[in-house]
Amino acid sequence: KQEVTQIPAALSVPEGENLVLNCSFTDSAIYNLQWFRQDPGKGLTSLLLIQSSQREQTSGRLNASLDKSSGRSTLYIAASQPGDSATYLCAVFCNAGGTSYGKLTFGQGTILTVHP
Amino acid sequence: SAVISQKPSRDICQRGTSLTIQCQVDSQVTMMFWYRQQPGQSLTLIATANQGSEATYESGFVIDKFPISRPNLTFSTLTVSNMSPEDSSIYLCSVEEGARGLNYEQYFGPGTRLTVT
């Protein structure tokens, strides 16, 4: 059974700092990994998608890496801003054991607060 | 990418009643997914809804409690039946695009925030 763990559970940083969020998963047989952002009480916004054959993806100030063999991914946020404050969720997509479809398994999330 | 809307966006319901949540997508999709996010928790998949067949439920979720309809390729409903305060959660609909292993990605609706009193 796939399990996804995110560290740290919460992070508070001053504006302008570079930061790293960590995600690990137990089963390396994944199709891809997604990083999402969730604002309080809201739905999910997809930030970055890394296919299993890729090592990293970049979008603006965000960079996500994937080491499939070791079951790890990191989300790097450069020059953090108060508007980056949100919960960041990591999810891996893999076969739903024995079925014909896949499923996303989510980590618990990292609550990020960037203070001015 | 698919644009997903959900109704209602939030509701406060009394225990013992039922609520039906609607999910509408702006394009035809094969698979639709329903997730639950309990307060302070991450997302848990409730079921997968494939048009033309019965929904497939994950362990711990049953059809009597969470009946799902999928009448066409752009619409689905999830009903939360005989509600109790433990059902207070955000319920999210999602769809998939792309081919598995290639450019597969899931997109999520804005969620329905349910409070049961």
Provide the 10 A C-beta neighbour count for residue B58: 15
d(CA A68, CA B98): 21
Segment A105-114, tens digit of pLDDT: 999 999 999 9
pLDDT for A83 equals 96
pLDDT for A40 equals 86
C-alpha separations of B108 from A38, A81, B32, B59 in Å = 11, 25, 10, 22
A38 and A109 Cβ atoms separated by less than 8 Å: yes
Distance from CA of B47 to the nearest CA of A (A): 10
For residue A96, is pLDDT > 80?
no
Segment A39-69, tens digit of pLDDT: 988 889 999 999 888 999 999 999 999 999 9
Contact residues, chain A, for B107 at CB < 8 Å? 46
* DSSP letter, residue B79: E
Average of per-residue pLDDT across A79-97? 89
Mutate to test the interface with A, among B90, B108, B112, B115 (most CBs of A within 10 A): B108
pLDDT for A43 equals 86
Instruction: Report the range out of A27-31, B64-68, B106-110 with the highest average pLDDT.
Output: B64-68
Burial A80-100, CB ≥16 within 10 A → b, else e: beeebbbbbbbbbbbbbeeee
Residues 54-83 of A with CB under 8 A from B: none
pLDDT for B102 equals 60
Residue among A4, A13, A11 nearest A94 (CA) = A4
pLDDT for B11 equals 97
Residue among A16, A21, A39 nearest A116 (CA) = A16
Classify strands A19-25 and A72-77 as parallel, antiparallel or unpaired: antiparallel
CB of A99 less than 8 A from some CB of B: yes
Q: Maximum CA pair distance of chain B?
A: 45
For residue A93, is pLDDT > 80?
yes
Segment A6-49, tens digit of pLDDT: 999 999 999 999 999 999 999 998 889 999 999 988 889 999 99
Q: DSSP 3-state assignment of B108?
A: strand
- Output the average pLDDT for chain B: 91
Provide the 10 A C-beta neighbour count for residue A12: 11
Count of residues in chain A: 116
CB of A25 less than 8 A from some CB of B: no
For residue B3, is pLDDT > 60?
yes
Classify strands B10-13 and B112-116 as parallel, antiparallel or unpaired: parallel
d(CA A4, CA A6): 7
Mutate to test the interface with B, among A57, A90, A101 (most CBs of B within 10 A): A101
